[in-house]
Amino acid sequence: MSEKSFEDFRFVRPLQKAINREQYRTPTPIQAAAIPRILQGRDILGVAQTGTGKTAAFALPLLHNLAKNRKPSRAKSCRVLVLSPTRELASQIAERFSAYGRALNQRQMTVYGGVSENPQIKAMKKGVHVLVATPGRLLDLMNQGHIDLSGLDVFVLDEADRMLDMGFLPDIKKVIAKLPEKRQSLFFSATMPNPIVELADGLLHKPVKIDVTPAESASSVIDTIEQRVLFVEHSKKRQLLSHLLK
């Protein structure tokens, strides 16, 4: 299945061009499995780690669907909401949406804590197509009436198990309670502990389950990264590292 080509998905031209520009040749397994289903509007339960290409697995088909069904952005609203546990991840996801969607004229915004909320409030006034957010700041702005999720088309929850570890579950539940009944939901997690299974059950409607985690590994490090422990004198660390890199 991973021998599919990106051409098979028949993405709108600006997206196919972006894929060529990124020099992605073959879809990764999660991309091969998820992209056709997301294009069809199905809900997804993706068990996948970072490094598997999962960001493109949802960003590309969502950008395609937005481009095929253009609507002006509504005040304080977004059409796609991506929730991410940390500000760094949110920025990375937003950066990917910008890179893939550069020629699509979609308005996009990233909302996270630790910085002034004023520019975020101002940008949300007109509304955006894609909003990438961390849970705390999103809820803050929702509670103040600056963000309205009632007109949303797609909700993406990324790294759900990390959200749990970071204590975001109550916030996420509050966000989910404000989502419209009719929506597409995509749910990604590297592991599936019980509270995450329950969260997914409540959120997803007849999801397509995609599991690209090797069964024997419960950790969140991808297979292609080889790990070894080497004991070495502190003073020799640099030398050893340079030897290994060579």
Residues of this chain that interact with ligand AMP (CB under 6 A) are 24, 27-28, 31, 50-56
Nearer to ligand AMP, 96 or 129 (CB): 96
Nearer to ligand AMP, 26 or 144 (CB): 26
113: Cα separation from own chain's centroid: 18
150 CB-near residues (< 8 Å, 6+ apart): 77, 178, 180
Closest separation in Å from C-beta 215 to ligand AMP: 19
Nearer to ligand AMP, 28 or 110 (CB): 28
Closest separation in Å from C-beta 222 to ligand AMP: 8
Closest separation in Å from C-beta 135 to ligand AMP: 20
Closest separation in Å from C-beta 25 to ligand AMP: 6
Nearer to ligand AMP, 56 or 199 (CB): 56
User: Which residue in this structure is represented by tokens 């910008």?
Assistant: 98
